[in-house]
Amino acid sequence: MTTRRDEGMPQRLSMVTLGVEDLPRSRAFYERLGFVASSFESDAVAFFDMGGTVLALFGRAPLAEDANMPQEGQGFRAVSCAINVESETAVDRALALARECGARITQPARQVFWGGYSGYFADPDGHLWEVAFNPIFPLDENGRVRIPGPGPDAHS
């Protein structure tokens, strides 16, 4: 069954919340990367404006409780965040900065099967971030990825 866009879930990503073990440590890590924290002050959560999407850092245990999920589990979480940049050189610079700020590089930058160039780092809690240059989906003037829209029969 297909649904029309106005009948389904809104197609946007408003916020990504990462559960962290040590909020001050994680906030400091992201600030070293150059992320600017919101002026909203709280000992329980930190917010970063990501150009239309918000990155939130929240305690791992309280986040699990809020979602009514068990908090145990480490290792690969089957999800990654991504930052797309304008060139291969920008990928290399971003990964070098991440390493300098305390990230663990999990996959050095390389040419990838889909025609781009990317690498991965893990933050202090193991959350994965891909840094990618994608020539298929270039960035607009605001640094946002633009992908082709659906075909003419996508919502029929």
Question: For the segment 103-132, what is each residue's pLDDT rounded down to a tens digit?
Answer: 999 999 999 999 999 999 999 999 999 999
* CA 143-144-148 angle, 5° bins: 135
Q: How many domains does the chain have?
A: 2
Determine the pLDDT at residue 154. 47
**Statement to judge: residues 43 and 92 lie in one domain:** no
Mean of the per-residue pLDDT values for the chain? 89
Q: Which domain holds residue 34?
A: 13-67
Question: Is the pLDDT assigned to residue 57 strictly greater than 90?
Answer: yes
If asked whether residues 17 and 39 sit together in one domain, one would say: yes
Output 144 or 99, whichever has higher pLDDT: 99
Give a yes or no: residue 123 inside a domain: yes
Query: For the residues of the chain, what is the DSSP string, one character each?
Result: ----GGGS------EEEEEES-HHHHHHHHHHTT--B-S---SSEEEEE-SSSEEEEEEHHHHHHHHT------S--S--EEEE-SSHHHHHHHHHHHHHTTPEEEEEEEE-TTS-EEEEEE-TT--EEEEEE-SSS-B-TTS-B------TTTT-
- Asked if 39 and 94 sit in the same domain, the reply is no
In whole angstroms, what is the distance from residue 5 CA to residue 149 CA? 13
Q: What is the pLDDT of residue 151?
A: 55
In this predicted structure, what is the pLDDT of residue 147?
83
Q: What is the pLDDT of residues 89-110, one digit of tens each?
A: 999 999 999 999 999 999 999 9
Q: What pLDDT is stored for residue 10 in this prediction?
A: 81
- Say what the pTM is: 0.84
Has residue 17 been placed in a domain? yes
The values of phi and psi at residue 60, to 5°, are -60, -50
pLDDT digits (tens, 9 = 90+) for 31-56: 999 999 999 888 999 999 998 899 99
Q: If 0-12 CB within 10 Å is exposed, 13-18 middle and 19+ buried, where does residue 2 land?
A: exposed
Establish if 151 belongs to a structural domain: no
CATH number for the domain spanning 38: value is 3.10.180.10
| Domain membership flag for residue 73 | no
pLDDT of residue 156: 45
Classify residue 119: in a domain, yes or no.
yes
Q: Are 63 and 108 in the same domain?
A: no
